[in-house]
Amino acid sequence: MQTVQQKIISNKLGLLSLATEELFDCYYWMGCIRTHDLLESAIMTPQASFGGQYVHNGIFEMAAAYAFHIAENQPFVDGNKRTALAASLVFLDWHQIEINDSGDELYNAMIGLAKKNLDKAGLAKLFQKLAKPAKE
């Protein structure tokens, strides 16, 4: 049985899936997306659960999973790292978490993911380090 927090997260994940579906429809007809399967796999991975528990525990881990899997799967012809980071930041924003990056830490993190110098756990830690409660 899901807790209230898990239900809220699940609903917001569904919204992200829907938003990404809309993005897919737009990009597909413009020839900017490689395949729907790569995108669907990337956005469904953070939502994966086993035994009623999410595989990626916590908001920062889920946000990192969005960035990691979109960047790793390369579903778009161009802009995969940008889209990956944007999906993560939108997900965090939905959970009232702002990321304050006054330097190039997020840029460097996305390059690190692409070069396989940074993993999901490292990105989750960076998100947590840069996080501050969002203003309502």
Question: How confident is residue 53, by pLDDT bands cut at 50, 70 and 90?
Answer: confident
Greatest distance between any 2 Cα atoms in the chain: 42
How many structural domains are present in the chain?
1
Written as six digits, the tokens of 101 are 């990056």
Say whether pLDDT at 126 is over 80: yes
**Stronger pLDDT, 123 or 21, i.e. the higher one:** 123
The enclosing domain of 58 has a CATH number of 1.20.120.1870
Confidence at residue 45, expressed as pLDDT on a 0 to 100 scale: 84
Q: Could you tell me which of 45, 47, 46, 25 has the C-alpha nearest to residue 36?
A: 25
> Domain range spanning residue 54?
4-133
Instruction: Measure the CA–CA gap between 74 and 12, rounded to whole angstroms.
Output: 23
**Stronger pLDDT, 109 or 74, i.e. the higher one:** 109
* DSSP per residue, 49-109: EETTEESS-SHHHHHHHHHHHHHHH--BSS-HHHHHHHHHHHHHHHTTEEE--SSSHHHHH
Say whether pLDDT at 25 is over 70: no
Question: How confident is residue 103, by pLDDT bands cut at 50, 70 and 90?
Answer: confident
